Chains A and B, each alone.
Chain A
Amino acid sequence: MTAGAPFDEMGPSLDHPRPIYRHIARWLQETPPEVLAARRAQAEYMFRRIGITFGVYGDKDAAERLIPFDIVPRVISRGEWTRLEAGLIQRVTALNMFLKDVYGARAILKENIIPPELILRNPYYRPEMIGHRAPHDIWVHIGGIDIVRVDASEFYVLEDNARTPSGVSYMLENREVTMRLMPDLFARHSVAPVDDYPDELLACLASVAPRPDFSEATIVILTPGPFNSAYYEHSFLADKLGVELVEGRDLFVAEDVVYMRTTLGPKRVDVIYRRVDDEYLDPLVFNPESILGVPGLIGAYLAGNVTIANAVGTGVADDKAIYSYVPDLIKFYLSEKPLLKNIPTHRCREPDELKYVLERLDQLVVKEVNGSGGYGMLVGPHASAAQRELFAAKLKADPSNYIAQPTLALSTCPASFDSGVSPRHVDLRPFVLSGANGVKIVPGGLTRVALTKGSLVVNSSQGGGTKDTWVVDDDAEEI
């Protein structure tokens, strides 16, 4: 965890790139600025035409703003990917075992590995699921694990997303756009394909169907509807998978079996890939005001007649306070050494740690344990004294709601602007699929980039952009 100049993944300069970036560095040097500008404009045009939009909450006028796309691909070598992949598989396997345990035997509580209240009083812990075994013991079917780098050797996990991680449509569309815009550059690399993701996802969902003897499971994607910020992705995935995109009102439950209303009458549903949060799934069990859900759905689920992916109650595993214990979970469930590092995390619920954090607010990033999307966080070094004071008060009022981490010198990658090529901070969200037949990860993932110079916030809801991510076979890899 080094301070000072951040690690640039391309290398110190265009003239001295790391070997795997040599083609990109040359391309950036040799391509006239007006051609790069034309590529940027073409990319924007292509995205707007296909209608990829991302509604941003609290920004009504820009209800359909485009997520900016940076045309310079981000490159990861095959060797780096192989190490990362092993770590991701290990981590998600442990998270699934953890969820099975906390809703089942609770061995981890008996062993005092995690303070019980962190689980049992967690707002995302669902007591309704106690004693329930998810089909095939898979809870997190689709996991999005956010990864950052600070140097050439290590990957760190920034956070785990075990509820309804989004962004995979951008991973796929970014690749399509890159291949069309820069076919020559693409051809100079041997890039691992990502376009099998929909098939892998479909296989994963089919593998966890509740009726194993049934030859063809009916799979649907459940969306909150067109006004949801990720609606484009929901419809994109339904299209690629060839399954119906349903809203709550398209489904109903009769005698603990879920059906969808079709032009031919009711049709039984076996697997629901839901992009609706737990608390809106079933007004009979959770939020009674919800019109997004399906009355009786949880009953059907507990009766074992339908599989919900991700399972209900997975939020307890991607809480930022639980995050700090994930290395311990890996040791406990798998008896293995964690392959991916965690970022050192101060749990403000512990008085010594709170004191430490309050004394160093100007150096730390403070996050709400259940926050997401970059909301409710303080980036100490970039905050004003007044903002820090406000946050200190919040911390003292409710310390267990916060964790703090050092400000990382996140790695940078070159990005292309009107003003030229300039490094920007990036992270990476690979999508980890867990099914009855094991864990599968399509090489790469979604690279998010903080397009504002110096900014560390990559969330699309806060003006971040995306890049195509290339896992390349390269013999010129560094040792």
Chain B
Amino acid sequence: MLARTADNLFWLARSMERADFIARTIEATLRLEYLPRSGVDDPAIEWESALNAAGAFEEFIEKHKVIDEANAIDFLTFDRDNPSSICNCLENARANGRAVRTALTVETWTAINDAWLELKRFEATRRAAKDLNLEALTRFLDYVKKASLDFDGACYRTMLRNDGYWFNRLGIYMERADNTARLLDVKYHLLLPKTETVGGSLDYFQWVAILRAVSAATAYHWVYRDRVKPWLIADLLILKPAMPRSLISCYESIDRALDSLARDDGRSGAAQRQARTMHAKLERASMTEIFQNGLHEFITSFIEDNARLSATISEQYLFV
């Protein structure tokens, strides 16, 4: 397949996955913000961490100087100046999709194009009303989540299992691993090991918010059959293979996609080796050990390794 096509498919998938993550992050942050609070807490902190998780904090501060809800939501949803805003994610997805129409099935293209047409409608509504009220915002976020489900489902159900599909999967799981890791990175201070004293009830809702951001609030209970505890959240999002957004689950999929590419080509390279190493490392890891060596350090080095793998894939396949 054309190297440019593979590159487009990879980034198309990343954009759709990112839009979904940002929509979930906004929802979870809104819930946190509307909790009754003691009076000393500043809601701006929640938006700061949301902007950080979305990788958009620096650009935001440059533009807005101070954080407030309206600006943060606008920046994360419709602001063209934010490269990771939902609207830019969907625009990028469609631009990438348009450039590789031949590598997409009709269903996949339709899913992307429908999402984009819907975006245009929301943008028009927003222009007319100057602002989206909360109800409209909720509808918008729901639609973004659905768009990414449609896209993912269309890929899964209709794409040939050839290189195009595997680059699509790589994009989705590389992005997803990055998102989960970023979320953990901004919230690591809340995720304490069993041995530490747990804070007040506000922390409880913070933990639930983390689960919501990765659509794992229900899954948590099915896995642990226990009330929400911070060390179990870390376990769920890092080491549980059954949890589709956990780092280990993402790496299982990345490993498989790269193996499939290697099998089809008959060529295996640095990308396969790196992915296998990262997957094996996660398989061997335990939460006790991760907490001992420092959760923050673990996450930071994971984000770096993930970015390195992305660069290796580009070098090996995409010629960029």
List chain A positions with a Cβ less than 8 A from chain B.
48-51, 225-226, 231-232, 235-236, 238-239, 244-247, 249-250, 260-264
B288-320 interface code vs A (CB 8 A; 1 in, 0 out): 000000000000000000000000000001110
B194-212 interface code vs A (CB 8 A; 1 in, 0 out): 0000000000000000000
Q: In the complex, are the beta carbons of A226 and B95 less than 8 A apart?
A: yes
Q: In the complex, are the beta carbons of A238 and B102 less than 8 A apart?
A: yes
Q: In the complex, are the beta carbons of A263 and B317 less than 8 A apart?
A: yes
Q: A51-B109, A51-B113, A249-B4 are in contact. Are A263 and B99 (CB under 8 A)?
A: no
Instruction: Specify which chain B residues have a CB less than 8 angstroms from the CB of A244 in the assembled complex.
Output: 1-2, 5, 102
List chain B positions with a Cβ less than 8 A from chain A.
1-6, 95, 98-102, 106, 109-110, 113-114, 117, 163, 167, 261, 265, 267, 317-319
Q: In the complex, are the beta carbons of B102 and A235 less than 8 A apart?
A: yes
Instruction: Specify which chain A residues have a CB less than 8 angstroms from the CB of B163 in the assembled complex.
Output: 263
Cβ-closest chain A residue relative to B164: A263
Interface centre among B95, B101, B261 (most CB of A within 10 A): B101
Q: In the complex, are the beta carbons of B267 and A264 less than 8 A apart?
A: yes
5 A-B pairs with the lowest CB-CB distances in the bound complex, closest first: A235-B101, A238-B102, A239-B102, A263-B317, A261-B3
Instruction: Specify which chain A residues have a CB less than 8 angstroms from the CB of B319 in the assembled complex.
Output: 261
Complex: A112 Cα to B99 Cα, angstroms: 49
Q: In the complex, are the beta carbons of A263 and B1 less than 8 A apart?
A: yes
Q: In the complex, are the beta carbons of A264 and B2 less than 8 A apart?
A: no
Complex: A49 Cα to B111 Cα, angstroms: 9
A selection of 13 A-B contacts at a CB cut-off of 8 Å is A49-B110, A51-B110, A226-B95, A231-B98, A238-B101, A238-B102, A245-B101, A250-B4, A262-B1, A262-B2, A263-B1, A263-B265, A263-B318
Q: In the complex, are the beta carbons of A49 and B114 less than 8 A apart?
A: yes
Interface centre among A50, A250, A264 (most CB of B within 10 A): A264
Q: In the complex, are the beta carbons of A260 and B98 less than 8 A apart?
A: no
Cβ-closest chain A residue relative to B266: A264
Q: In the complex, are the beta carbons of A226 and B106 less than 8 A apart?
A: no
Contact of A225 (CB < 8 Å), options: B3, B99, B265, B267? B99
Complex: A264 Cα to B318 Cα, angstroms: 9
Apart from A49-B114, A51-B101, A263-B265, what 4 extra A-B contacts exist at CB < 8 Å?
A: A50-B109, A250-B2, A261-B2, A263-B6
Tell me the minimal C-beta distance from B9 to chain A in angstroms.
10
Q: In the complex, are the beta carbons of A245 and B102 less than 8 A apart?
A: yes
Instruction: Specify which chain A residues have a CB less than 8 angstroms from the CB of B167 in the assembled complex.
Output: 263
Cβ-closest chain A residue relative to B318: A263
Cβ-closest chain B residue relative to A242: B102
Complex: A236 Cα to B4 Cα, angstroms: 18
Cβ-closest chain B residue relative to A247: B4
Complex: A100 Cα to B291 Cα, angstroms: 78
Cβ-closest chain B residue relative to A236: B101
Cβ-closest chain A residue relative to B105: A239
Tell me the minimal C-beta distance from A414 to chain B in angstroms.
31
Q: A226-B95, A263-B318 are in contact. Are A48 and B117 (CB under 8 A)?
A: yes
Q: A49-B114, A226-B95, A263-B318 are in contact. Are A239 and B101 (CB under 8 A)?
A: yes
Interface centre among A49, A238, A250, A262 (most CB of B within 10 A): A262
Cβ-closest chain A residue relative to B6: A263
Tell me the minimal C-beta distance from B21 to chain A in angstroms.
26
Interface centre among A236, A244, A247 (most CB of B within 10 A): A244
Q: In the complex, are the beta carbons of B2 and A50 less than 8 A apart?
A: no
Complex: A239 Cα to B164 Cα, angstroms: 14
Instruction: Specify which chain B residues have a CB less than 8 angstroms from the CB of A48 in the assembled complex.
Output: 117
Complex: A238 Cα to B98 Cα, angstroms: 13
Q: In the complex, are the beta carbons of A49 and B113 less than 8 A apart?
A: yes
Instruction: Specify which chain B residues have a CB less than 8 angstroms from the CB of A250 in the assembled complex.
Output: 2-4
Q: In the complex, are the beta carbons of A261 and B4 less than 8 A apart?
A: yes
Q: In the complex, are the beta carbons of A50 and B318 less than 8 A apart?
A: no
Complex: A231 Cα to B95 Cα, angstroms: 12
Complex: A249 Cα to B8 Cα, angstroms: 14
Cβ-closest chain B residue relative to A264: B265
Instruction: Specify which chain B residues have a CB less than 8 angstroms from the CB of A239 in the assembled complex.
Output: 101-102
Cβ-closest chain B residue relative to A220: B2
Tell me the minimal C-beta distance from A250 to chain B in angstroms.
5
Tell me the minimal C-beta distance from B160 to chain A in angstroms.
11
Interface centre among B98, B106, B261, B317 (most CB of A within 10 A): B98
Complex: A48 Cα to B261 Cα, angstroms: 34
Tell me the minimal C-beta distance from B117 to chain A in angstroms.
7
Tell me the minimal C-beta distance from B31 to chain A in angstroms.
35
Cβ-closest chain A residue relative to B97: A51
Complex: A51 Cα to B5 Cα, angstroms: 19
Complex: A254 Cα to B114 Cα, angstroms: 42
Instruction: Specify which chain B residues have a CB less than 8 angstroms from the CB of A238 in the assembled complex.
Output: 101-102
Cβ-closest chain A residue relative to B163: A263
Tell me the minimal C-beta distance from B308 to chain A in angstroms.
20
Tell me the minimal C-beta distance from A477 to chain B in angstroms.
38
Cβ-closest chain B residue relative to A249: B4
Q: A226-B95, A226-B98 are in contact. Are A260 and B2 (CB under 8 A)?
A: yes
Tell me the minimal C-beta distance from B179 to chain A in angstroms.
25
Tell me the minimal C-beta distance from A173 to chain B in angstroms.
12
Tell me the minimal C-beta distance from B147 to chain A in angstroms.
14
Complex: A346 Cα to B102 Cα, angstroms: 45
Complex: A239 Cα to B267 Cα, angstroms: 27
Instruction: Specify which chain A residues have a CB less than 8 angstroms from the CB of B98 in the assembled complex.
Output: 51, 226, 231, 235
Complex: A297 Cα to B109 Cα, angstroms: 32
Cβ-closest chain B residue relative to A245: B102
Complex: A263 Cα to B271 Cα, angstroms: 13
Tell me the minimal C-beta distance from B266 to chain A in angstroms.
9
Interface centre among A49, A239, A263 (most CB of B within 10 A): A263
Complex: A245 Cα to B97 Cα, angstroms: 13
Complex: A235 Cα to B172 Cα, angstroms: 24
Complex: A225 Cα to B102 Cα, angstroms: 13
Tell me the minimal C-beta distance from B292 to chain A in angstroms.
41
Complex: A407 Cα to B318 Cα, angstroms: 55
Complex: A150 Cα to B80 Cα, angstroms: 53
Instruction: Specify which chain A residues have a CB less than 8 angstroms from the CB of B101 in the assembled complex.
Output: 51, 232, 235-236, 238-239, 245
Instruction: Specify which chain B residues have a CB less than 8 angstroms from the CB of A50 in the assembled complex.
Output: 106, 109-110
Q: In the complex, are the beta carbons of B99 and A226 less than 8 A apart?
A: yes
Instruction: Specify which chain B residues have a CB less than 8 angstroms from the CB of A260 in the assembled complex.
Output: 2
Complex: A260 Cα to B114 Cα, angstroms: 32
Complex: A226 Cα to B99 Cα, angstroms: 6
Instruction: Specify which chain B residues have a CB less than 8 angstroms from the CB of A263 in the assembled complex.
Output: 1-3, 6, 163, 167, 261, 265, 317-318
Complex: A232 Cα to B98 Cα, angstroms: 8
Instruction: Specify which chain A residues have a CB less than 8 angstroms from the CB of B99 in the assembled complex.
Output: 225-226
Q: In the complex, are the beta carbons of A262 and B3 less than 8 A apart?
A: yes
Complex: A246 Cα to B114 Cα, angstroms: 26
Complex: A89 Cα to B10 Cα, angstroms: 45
Q: In the complex, are the beta carbons of A246 and B102 less than 8 A apart?
A: no
Tell me the minimal C-beta distance from A126 to chain B in angstroms.
29
Instruction: Specify which chain B residues have a CB less than 8 angstroms from the CB of A261 in the assembled complex.
Output: 2-4, 319
Instruction: Specify which chain B residues have a CB less than 8 angstroms from the CB of A232 in the assembled complex.
Output: 101
